[in-house]
Amino acid sequence: MERQYDLVIIGAGPAGMAASVYGSRAGLKTLLLDNGAPGGKLIKTHKISNYPGVKELSGVELATSMFEQSTSFGAEYAYGDVEKVDADKKVTLSDGTIIEAKAVIVATGTKERLLKIPGEQENIGRGVSFCAVCDGAFFKNKDVVVIGGGNSALEESLFLTQFANKVTIVIRRDVFRAEKKIQEQIQANDKIEVIVKHIPKEILAENGKVSGIVFENVETKEPMTLSCQGIFPYVGQDPNTVCLEGLGVLDDKGYVIVDDSCQTKIPGLYAAGDVIQKELRQVVTATNDGAIAAQHAFHQITGI
């Protein structure tokens, strides 16, 4: 890895990989950084069936294909744990390396939100998991509980039915947030039971492994205990924006505020994908943002 680039992209999920394609094809000296495996949340996603042109593909397959393309026009990919981005587009890594760029695109995505209830933290990896695709096979013939009613919860519940004896989805309201198509699949699956109007209160464990979870009825306040061996919380996401703190570019939830060019109020500092303040977080909207940000960065750097 060198120390000077035209464009540094932080995060190799769909937004970052699309930005890499557009930046490098435009002739910018481009560096794509990630502090994990490339692919972002795609590699934790069972199936993708709403990305145009892709009828159905596993998340890993789509991520692999995007990654190959993202580095095929000259962009460099490197491991990099970004600690800080400065207003003058200096990117500082956690090992102290400083990389200078003419433009930076932050595409760091989001991380799973914790339930923040007793028993959660200490049982991660002992029955509590945030990745059905990674851990589902450990729950063969076991009973699992999924918490949340968004796309992630419902899609991963369907995935878990391949292995689990029973999947119980617990939501706090009596309506799902997920798309209708997935709701229909949930209703048609005999292995899935849905419990409404309950919020999680405590995760129970015996002999170092999850044994159940206590919920509270939101109306009657009565407790309900479900016995299970696995718990998958899918209660939303929070943005990965610690590296931008202090720049005044974040909203009150920590998402990056950008204009129509995906540029923040700091010239040359862009953001793309799930990390920005927006309504619809999808692979297709992430790639759209990445393309816009890189194209705008090209115009800004070259003056063309």
Q: Footprint of ligand NAP on this chain (CB under 6 A)?
A: 50, 115, 147-153, 155, 171-173, 177, 199-200, 234-237, 281-282
Q: Pick between residue 22 and residue 159 the one whose CB is nearest to ligand NAP.
A: 159
Structure tokens at 289: 């943002």
Q: Pick between residue 80 and residue 119 the one whose CB is nearest to ligand NAP.
A: 119
Q: Pick between residue 103 and residue 158 the one whose CB is nearest to ligand NAP.
A: 158
**Closest distance of CB 171 from ligand NAP, Å:** 6
Q: Pick between residue 153 and residue 262 the one whose CB is nearest to ligand NAP.
A: 153
Active site residue 259: no
Active site residue 88: no
- What is the residue whose two structure tokens read 């927006």? 278
**Closest distance of CB 165 from ligand NAP, Å:** 23
Q: Distance between CA 35 and CA 93 in Å, rounded?
A: 10
**Closest distance of CB 258 from ligand NAP, Å:** 17
Specify the long-range contacts of residues 183-187, CB closer than 8 Å, at least 24 apart.
183/154, 185/154, 185/158, 186/154, 186/157, 186/158
Q: Which of 34, 135, 274, 289 is catalytic?
A: 135
From the list 91, 211, 237, 256, the residue with the least C-alpha distance to 153 is 237
Q: Pick between residue 104 and residue 272 the one whose CB is nearest to ligand NAP.
A: 272
Phi, psi of 136 (to 5 degrees): -50, -40
**Closest distance of CB 52 from ligand NAP, Å:** 12
**Closest distance of CB 229 from ligand NAP, Å:** 20
Active site residue 131: yes
Burial 103-126 (b: 16+ CB within 10 A, else e): bbbbbbbbebeebebebbeebeeb
Q: Which of 81, 86, 131, 143 is catalytic?
A: 131
Q: Which residue has its beta carbon closest to ligand NAP? A: 150
Q: Distance between CA 290 and CA 281 in Å, rounded?
A: 13
Q: Distance between CA 10 and CA 21 in Å, rounded?
A: 14
DSSP 48-87: E--BTTBSSEEHHHHHHHHHHHHTTTS-EEEE--EEEE-T
**Closest distance of CB 118 from ligand NAP, Å:** 14
Query: Exposed, middle or buried, 3 (CB in 10 Å: 0-12/13-18/19+)?
Result: exposed
Q: Which of 134, 174, 238, 251 is catalytic?
A: 134
A 10 A CB-CB count for 190 gives 7
Q: Pick between residue 111 and residue 265 the one whose CB is nearest to ligand NAP.
A: 111
Element (H or E) spanning 34, and its range? Answer: strand 30-34
- Residues 229 and 142: beta-carbon distance below 8 Å: yes
Residues designated as active site = 131, 134-135
